[in-house]
Chain A
Amino acid sequence: MTEQKRRNGAALAAERLGERVYAMVQELGAIFTLFLQFLSWMPRPPSEIRNILKQMEEVGVRSMPVVLVTATFTGMVLALQSYSGFQRFQATSFVGSVVALSITRELGPVFAGLMVSGRVGAAMAAELGTMKVTEQIDALVTLATNPVKYLVVPRVVAATLVLPVLVVFADLVGILGGYFVSVYLLGSNPYVYVAKTYQYLEFKDIYTGLVKASVFGMLIALISCHHGFVAEGGAEGVGRATTRAVVASSMMVLISDYFMTSFMF
């Protein structure tokens, strides 16, 4: 009897796991399909230039403060941590190199990506989700306008273009944050610090970071638009879509980061 029960429990668990995996694969498929639709609608007229600029303001200008604050503190804490570690084998002069490399290669793009996932991903999913449940997306279709063309193309284009710009600023203030902590709080020699920052930093470190940022921007916008489009069931459904968009796009930022890093080395 109990043996039977246990077996049923295991079967049930396996079934649930199977359902979850199935749903995830289905979702990835849907997002990929949205990407293909994006590609096919992007070059067709009319150009959505005004919408793209509006979205660039939304994604870029309005995310700037959050991204800058995050990057500054990341640079600062990085300087503190690596100083206390490097002190143990008298290598504190390398703090500048570590900060510069970590920020440009990894932390600048990833933290900007995560911040934008939270801020912009949520906003996109909520806006499109509300449009979906109030039939505004159906209304677009009846007004001879493709929703992918009108809503997704401007958002994806804007996020793809703007995220690298955000990251350039993030890199800059991150490195400055590290400099500030090292020089003014930990008493490092400013000339050595600056020299070490330049010594090991290559142009490749910066541009691979920017390429990553661009991909993050595209993924965040695609995922968030997808979750908005499939929202169902009033305000509660929009809330769920928003949460899912933020969780999924943050996860995708970190997962895709690993794979891009392993390819670009």
Chain B
Amino acid sequence: MIEIRGLSKRFGKKVVLDGLDLTVPKGKNTVVIGGSGTGKSVLIKCVVGLLRPDAGEIRIGGEDVTRMDERELVRVRRKFGMLFQGSALFDSLDVGDNVAFALRRLKMFPERQIQDVVEEKLTMVGLRDIQRLMPSELSGGMKKRVGLARAIAAEPDILLYDEPTTGLDPIMADVINGLIVALRESLGVTSISITHDMASAYKIADTIAMLYKGKIVEVGTPAEIRGSSNPVVRQFVEGRAHGPITAESEEFVRFVRRRDGAAAGEEER
């Protein structure tokens, strides 16, 4: 179980996370939804220790990762696998070496077995006979799947998905969704996904949490979120341009129009 309490992070003057609370139950998939630039990536980067929060705590199996030094973090990070938005495959290594990366670094298996493990993981994501290809030779969907195979190679307890379906065509997005669900069922991993793709969120989530202005404003099952009465959540899940989330920017547009209109009126006079 992952327990996040009062998590805050700012970059310069910009407050990104502002006392965020979230509980991620064991063996379930928690999906964090929210608009672009609301700090979803910052949240999972804090969880895996890539970013240090300014305040708050993140307890993973009872241990607070925010107070750990680099050496302890290395130990905790072995529990994690992460799928990056752009897949982040190492482009100087071929597919097989990418998937085998953590296995070799951690010396989890003798070299003879590594090939078999790599093949097994690639089969799990529906790929075969591509070990010797370079990442530059793969399509976006294949890269995501290789990234996923690499993330699960060292058998993590926790999987983090950063926008798993972004940039994929609808069919490939659904393939990835299916894989995420299948992995939860077959491996029993706890996972956090962040996305703004509602179709994906409904499909893969056990719990959906909405991130808005640095806080989690609503948590619920997909059905609960779909029927939420919170206007912020409603605007986001229904994908409307007008509503409380965009009110400020609409206000700004109106202000600019009014000012320009006034200026134009003055010129005419």
Binding site for B on A (CB under 8 A): 46, 127, 130-131, 134-136, 138-146
CA A142 – CA B161 in complex, angstroms? Answer: 12
B45 touching A138, Cβ below 8 Å: yes
Q: Report Cα–Cα, A76/B80, bound state, in Å.
A: 60
Known A46-B105, A135-B85, A136-B90; contact A143-B50, beta-carbon cutoff 8 A: no
**Do B81 and A142 touch across chains, with their CB atoms under 8 A apart?**
yes
Please determine whether A143 and B88 come into contact, CB atoms closer than 8 angstroms: no
Closest 4 CB pairs of A and B: A139-B88, A135-B88, A143-B102, A142-B82
Q: How far is the CA of A140 from the CA of B82 in the complex (A)?
A: 10
Q: For B92, what are the chain A residues with a Cβ–Cβ distance below 8 Å?
A: 127
Q: How large is the interface on B (under 10, 10 to 19, 20 to 34, 35 or more residues)?
A: 20 to 34
A136-B102 in contact (CB<8A):
no
CB distance from B206 to the nearest CB of A (A): 23
The chain B residues found within 8 Å of chain A, CB to CB, are: 45, 48-50, 70, 74, 77-78, 80-82, 84-86, 88-92, 101-102, 105-107, 150-151, 154, 160
A142-B48, A144-B105, A144-B106 known; A134+B81 contact, CB < 8 A: no
Contact of B84 among A46, A139, A145 (CB under 8 A): A139
Complex contacts, A136 vs chain B, CB 8 Å = 88-91
| Residues of A with C-beta under 8 A to B86 | 134-135
B102 near A139 with CB under 8 A, answer: no
Please report the C-alpha to C-alpha distance between residue A143 and residue B105 in the assembled complex, in whole angstroms.
8
Bound complex: CA of A210 vs CA of B74, how far in Å? Answer: 38
Docked CA distance A127–B91 (Å) = 10
Closest residue of chain A to B162 (Cβ to Cβ) is A135
Q: Give the CA-CA distance A136 to B84 in the complex, in Å.
A: 9
Closest beta carbon of chain A to B2's beta carbon, Å: 15
- 18 A-B interface contacts by CB (under 8 A): A46-B107, A134-B86, A134-B88, A135-B88, A136-B88, A136-B90, A136-B91, A138-B45, A138-B84, A139-B84, A141-B50, A142-B77, A142-B80, A143-B102, A143-B105, A143-B150, A144-B105, A146-B70
Tell me which of B77, B150, B151 contacts A141 (CB under 8 A): B77
Further 16 A-B residue pairs, CB within 8 A, beyond A136-B91, A144-B74: A46-B107, A131-B90, A138-B84, A138-B88, A139-B88, A139-B89, A139-B90, A140-B90, A141-B48, A141-B77, A142-B50, A142-B77, A142-B81, A143-B150, A143-B154, A144-B154
B102 to A, closest residue via Cβ: A143
Q: Which chain B positions have C-beta within 8 A of A130?
A: 91
- Closest chain B CB from A126 CB (angstroms): 12
* Shortest beta-carbon distance from B51 to chain A in Å: 10
Chain A residue at smallest Cβ distance from B78? A144
- Residues on B with C-beta less than 8 A from A144 are 74, 77-78, 102, 105-106, 154
State in angstroms the CA–CA spacing of A135 and B44 once bound together.
14
A127 to B92, CA, bound (A): 10
Measured in the bound complex, the distance between the Cα atoms of B86 and A143 in whole Å is 16
Q: CA of A259 to CA of B20 in the docked complex: distance in angstroms? A: 52
A145 near B82 with CB under 8 A, answer no
Residues of B within 8 A of A139 (CB): 82, 84, 88-90
Q: How far is the CA of A81 from the CA of B159 in the complex (A)?
A: 67
Complex contact B77–A138 (CB within 8 A): no
Kindly provide the distance from the CB of A222 to the nearest chain B CB, expressed in whole angstroms: 19
Closest B-chain residue to A143, C-beta based? B102
> How close is A81's CB to chain B, nearest CB, in angstroms?
44
**A138 and B41 alpha carbons, distance in the complex (Å):** 12
Residue of A nearest to B107 (CB): A46
Which single residue of chain B is at the shortest CB-CB distance from A150?
B105
Residues of A within 8 A of B151 (CB): 142
Give B84's nearest chain A residue, CB to CB. Answer: A135
Q: Which residues of A sit under 8 angstroms from B70, Cβ to Cβ?
A: 146
A146 contacts which chain B residues (CB < 8 A)? 70, 74
Q: Collect the chain B residues with CB atoms within 8 Å of residue A135's CB.
A: 84-86, 88
Question: Closest Cβ of chain A: how far from B159's Cβ, in Å?
Answer: 11
Distance in angstroms between the alpha carbons of A131 and B90 in the assembled complex: 8
Which residues does chain B contribute within 8 Å of A140, judged by CB atoms? 90
Closest CB of chain A to B157's CB: distance in Å?
Answer: 13
Q: What are the residues of chain A within 8 A of B102 when measuring CB–CB?
A: 143-145
Q: How far is the CB of B269 from chain A (nearest CB, A)?
A: 32
By a CB distance below 8 angstroms, the chain A residues around B101 are 143, 145
A143 vs B151: C-alpha distance in the bound complex, in angstroms?
A: 8
- Provide the residues of chain B in CB contact with A134, threshold 8 Å: 86, 88
Residues on B with beta carbons closer than 8 Å to the beta carbon of A46: 105, 107
Cα of A83 to Cα of B34 in the assembled complex, Å = 74
Instruction: Output the least CB separation between B11 and chain A (Å).
Output: 12
